[in-house]
């Protein structure tokens, strides 16, 4: 039986750092106010010249190097993003060209903050089917482009970045189970409700969020999908070494760990210095812990995300 396994990780954050104190200079907010409500101290913001595919390229190169895989050996590229370079072509196709390769399928997945989990489950299915042997799975965002920087309730939360993994086919189980869900009836509580029509912007081009409703929904479904995924794999939370959840804010992470009965030391938290990087947050957090030596070969990792749509899902994997 063919399985897929994560054989390399990579991450990239733009050089520019914006701290809470930086934001407090132009908004009615403070470092203490932001930290207390979100756990965030700083976030990275892309330069105007940097696109989603640029950030994805840097993360992908690092993941490929860690895996010992050449870009030309890839059979599949799946890129999760809500902030593509263009309406089309896909950012995955642009990334493919920047990697200097051609021929293999490349496409975007749009599931907002659940995007990487959706993309990982998709690539895993392709490899399990025998269609492909090596896949590059990326989450990349420039959320700073869709924020109203005068709205302190949203702009303090988000940052830009990219994370990537290389999946390879093998005989040993790597990804044990994945579960994906969506419920479009909740679309109004987290959305960018705008579009382009005839060269004009219709609706709002900025992210809008009903924070308290998002919090309640996120904590509930992250708990449910984690349990559902563990059950599908025939395991329990006690079998998990690390929970790498979407880094939305510290309060959601804390509440999720408590509902699952997970010791806080097994919950990965990077939101303090990354902010919410949407589809990039899970692979960024994973790569940071792998490179720091915290997550090692043989560790079992539960990755999960929840985002606008609403979408949510989880993947359980042994590295």
Domain that holds residue 205: 176-318
| Two tokens, residue 35 | 């930290």
254 shares its domain with 196: yes
Cα radius of gyration rounded to whole Å, the chain: 18
Domain closes at, from 172, 190, 225: 172
pLDDT attached to residue 1: 86
Among 61, 66, 53, which residue's Cα sits nearest to residue 9? 66
Q: Are residues 52 and 133 in the same domain?
A: yes
pTM: 0.98
Q: How many domains in the chain?
A: 2
Q: Is 20 a catalytic residue?
A: no
Catalytic: which of 246, 249, 274, 289?
Answer: 246
Catalytic residue among 176, 249, 276, 289: 276
Do 69 and 212 lie in one domain? The reply is no
pLDDT tens for the 319 residues of the chain, in order:
899 999 999 999 999 999 999 999 999 999 999 999 999 999 999 999 999 999 999 999 999 999 999 999 999 999 999 999 999 999 999 999 999 999 999 999 999 999 999 999 999 999 999 999 999 999 999 999 999 999 999 999 999 999 999 999 999 999 999 999 999 999 999 999 999 999 999 999 999 999 999 999 999 999 999 999 999 999 999 999 999 999 999 999 999 999 999 999 999 999 999 999 999 999 999 999 999 999 999 999 999 999 999 999 999 999 9
**Residue ending a domain, choose from 137, 154, 172:** 172
* Same domain (yes/no): 84, 193: no
- Of 115, 147, 172, the last residue of a domain is 172
Catalytic residue list contains 276: yes
**pLDDT of res. 18:** 98
At 253, which CATH number?
3.40.47.10
Residues 144 and 187 in one domain: no
**Whole-angstrom Cα distance, residue 79 to residue 90?**
9
Residues 156 and 184 both lie in one domain? no
- Residue 234 CB burial class (10 angstroms; 0-12, 13-18, ≥19): exposed
Note whether 115 and 200 are same-domain residues: no
Active-site residue, from 93, 113, 155, 289: 113
Secondary structure (DSSP) of the chain: --EEEEEEEEEE--S-EEEHHHHHTTSS--HHHHHHHH---EEE---TT--HHHHHHHHHHHHHHHHT--GGG-SEEEEE-SS-SSSSS-HHHHHHHHTT--SS-EEEE--GGGHHHHHHHHHHHHHHHTS-SEEEEEEEEEGGGG--TT-TTTTTTB-EEEEEEEEEEESS--EEEEEEEE-GGGGGGEE--EEEETTEEEE--S-EE-HHHHHHHHHHHHHHHHHHHHHHTT--GGG-SEEEE--S-HHHHHHHHHHHT--GGGB---HHHH-B-GGGHHHHHHHHHHHTTSS-TT-EEEEEEEETTTEEEEEEEE-
Whether residue 166 is found in the same domain as residue 285: no
Residue/partner pairs of 253-258 with CB below 8 Å, 24 or more apart: 253/39, 255/215, 255/219, 256/218, 256/219, 256/222, 256/223, 256/226
Whether 267 and 154 share a structural domain: no
Contact 39, 156 (CB under 8 A): no
**Is there a catalytic annotation at residue 188?**
no
Q: How far apart are CA 35 and CA 22, in angstroms?
A: 14
In this structure, the answer to whether residues 244 and 281 fall within a common structural domain is yes
Place of tokens 């914006």: 18
For residues 69 and 216, membership in a common domain is answered with no
What does the pLDDT read at residue 142? 98
């Amino acid at each position: 039986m063919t399985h897929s396994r994560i054989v390399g990780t990579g991450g990239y954050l733009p050089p520019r750092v914006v701290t809470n104190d930086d934001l407090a200079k132009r908004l009615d907010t403070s470092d203490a106010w932001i930290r207390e409500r979100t756990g965030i101290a700083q976030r990275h913001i892309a330069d105007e010249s940097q696109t989603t595919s640029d950030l994805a390229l840097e993360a992908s190169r690092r993941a490929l190097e860690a895996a010992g895989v050449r870009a030309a050996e890839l059979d599949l590229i799946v890129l999760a993003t809500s902030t593509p370079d263009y309406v089309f072509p896909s950012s995955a196709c642009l990334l493919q060209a920047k990697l200097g390769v051609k021929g293999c399928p490349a496409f975007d997945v749009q599931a907002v903050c659940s995007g990487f989990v959706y993309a990982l489950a998709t690539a895993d299915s392709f490899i399990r089917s025998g269609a492909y042997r090596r896949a590059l799975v990326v989450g990349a965002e420039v959320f700073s482009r869709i924020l109203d920087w005068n709205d302190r309730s949203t702009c303090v939360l988000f940052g830009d970045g990219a994370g990537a993994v290389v999946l390879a086919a093998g005989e040993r189980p790597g990804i044990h189970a994945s579960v994906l869900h969506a419920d479009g009836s909740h679309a109004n509580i987290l959305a960018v409700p705008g579009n382009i029509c005839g060269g004009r912007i219709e609706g709002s081009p900025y992210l809008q969020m009903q924070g308290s409703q998002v919090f309640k929904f996120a904590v509930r479904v992250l708990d449910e999908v984690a349990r559902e995924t563990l059950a599908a794999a025939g395991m329990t939370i006690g079998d998990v070494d690390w929970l790498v959840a979407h880094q939305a804010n510290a309060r959601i992470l804390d509440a999720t760990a408590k509902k699952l009965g997970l010791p806080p030391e097994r919950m990965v938290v990077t939101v303090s210095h990354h902010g919410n990087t949407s589809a990039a947050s899970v692979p960024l957090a994973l790569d940071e812990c792998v490179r720091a030596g915290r997550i090692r070969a043989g560790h079992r990792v539960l990755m999960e995300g929840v985002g606008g749509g609403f979408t949510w899902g989880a993947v359980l994997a042994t590295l």
